Amino acid sequence: MEILKTKAKMQAWSAARKRQGKTICFVPTMGYLHAGHVSLLEKGKPLCDELVLSIFVNPTQFGPNEDLDAYPRDIDNDLALAEAAGTTAVFLPDNTEMYGENYQTRVALDHLPHHLCGKSRPVHFGGVATVVTKLFNIVMPDVAVFGKKDFQQLRVIRQLTEDLDFNIRIVGGDIVREPDGLAMSSRNAYLTPEQRKSALCLSQAIDIAKTQIAGGATDVIAIRDKMTDHINGFDHTAIDYIEFCDPVTLDEVETIGGQVVLALAVKVGKSRLIDNALIDPPQ
């Protein structure tokens, strides 16, 4: 496994392999890898000849009051997990390598960022779209794998890949959960033991909605009220949003008529946790 710290070395590494006719699968991350990231590497491994992981805590996707400085880091463990999962190269740049002094170019989407997490994180998806555009040009992959836990991010990436004509296939990786249902997240590391118990409210609220919809419920307000009551029954929780959306446009729906994505964000202590599920109404 090679570790490449500059854009020039990463591009040269990829270009050399492409000249040999090899294909490249790419898994971009902000590091502090957990079983969810490992599942993305494992999903990508059989898809191409080479498997590239990037680790970069991208400052431009954090707002001024967010947790950039506190974002957890553990490079040694990341590299061990990456190697064990069959990663062949790790791109590990620092901030000055990614954003030079005169840096001024931004990639933005008109509609998708104005839903869900974008409402409370107004700079987030512009930062994501920009850094992913850069990473795609640096790694030059044939396939890129993104987790479905960040459902809105995955939609943004699919749209930007299509709109900007990247010749890259985007693959979504399933959410990986702890045995009790909590979705894996680097931010789970912030939770105290007591908050860890409260963090279960997200997956449990999704289960409540699934049960309601399976039983024929179609009114989003009524379903959301039940979810809200459940989450508010836990200590240290503050709901950011609970929304039922069209899975492509992310426009909110008021009545369950076809497949929806149910997405929610809840602050548990200082950690803002997200979870989601695609739900089909009963046939």
Query: What is the contact surface with a second copy in residues (CB under 8 A)?
Result: 7, 11, 15, 18-19, 21, 100, 102-112, 129, 133-134, 137-138, 140, 159-160, 162-167, 248-249
CB of 120 to a second copy, least distance (A): 21
Q: Whose Cβ is closer to a second copy: residue 31's or residue 126's?
A: 126
Show Cβ contacts of residue 77 under 8 Å, excluding neighbours closer than 6 positions: 33
Name the DSSP letter for residue 52.
E
Q: Is 37 a catalytic residue?
A: yes
CB of 258 to a second copy, least distance (A): 18
Cβ-defined contacts of 229-233 (< 8 Å, 24+)? 230/201, 230/204, 230/205, 231/201, 231/202, 231/205, 231/266, 233/201
The residues that bridge with 143 in the sheet, in sequence order, are 25, 169
Considering beta carbons, is residue 22 or 177 the nearer one to a second copy? Answer: 22
Q: Which of 34, 37, 115, 124 is catalytic?
A: 37
89: closest CA among 14, 171, 173, 169?
14
Rounded CA separation 170/145 (Å): 6
Nearer to a second copy, 54 or 188 (CB): 54
- Cα distance between residue 245 and residue 118, in whole Å: 14
Q: What is the CA radius of gyration of the chain?
A: 19
State which residue, 102 or 283, has the beta carbon closest to a second copy.
102
Strand partners, 172: 146
49 or 229: CB nearest a second copy: 49
Least spacing, CB of residue 130 vs a second copy, in Å: 8
In the three-class reduction of DSSP (H, G, I as helix; E, B as strand; rest coil), residue 119 is classed as: helix
Q: Which of 24, 4, 25, 17 is nearest to 173 (CA)?
A: 25
Largest CA distance in the chain: 58
- Cβ of residue 124: shortest distance to a second copy, in angstroms? 16
Smallest gap from residue 196 Cβ to a second copy (A):
38
Report residue 142 as tokens: 């044939």
Active site residues: 37
